[in-house]
Structure 1
Amino acid sequence: MPLVNVKLIEGVFTPEQKREMIQRVTDAMVEVEGESLRQVTWVVVEEVKSGDWGIGGNSLSAADVHALQGRSAAPVGG
């Protein structure tokens, strides 16, 4: 029974986008493990506080990710 943990920076993705991630990650796992394990495939989405994520020695915020995505840094509603 697989458990996939997806970590995201808080405030970047909408609830709908997170639901889609869960569906797609589950589908990808089922392609490998077989349809019979779909019902016991766990996907957990954890959000890390903006600024508490680092890459290359620098903290990364939700605004930084929004800039990479080419969209406004306005917070995403939950």
Structure 2
Amino acid sequence: MSARSVVRFADWTIGPDTGPTAPPVTFSMRCTACDAASETGVDFEAARDWAFGHVGRNPSHTGYRELVHRSWRAALLR
């Protein structure tokens, strides 16, 4: 008995997962001067407000990194 494989070319696409069971997009901000970070949540404005508060308390901490977690889904084009 022998194994048999079937291989074919296929076109795929990938994009943000917007389905009803997709996890929510989450945001956080991280200070590049001291590595402090905001809470992670679904509200970007909360992360941005944290950065404003952090720079207000630490005027030399002017650099921030936005961290976005977004689920993506691959799909076979038909």
Q: TM-score, normalised by structure 1?
A: 0.33
Specify which structure has the higher proportion of helix. 1
Larger radius of gyration between Structure 1 and Structure 2: 2
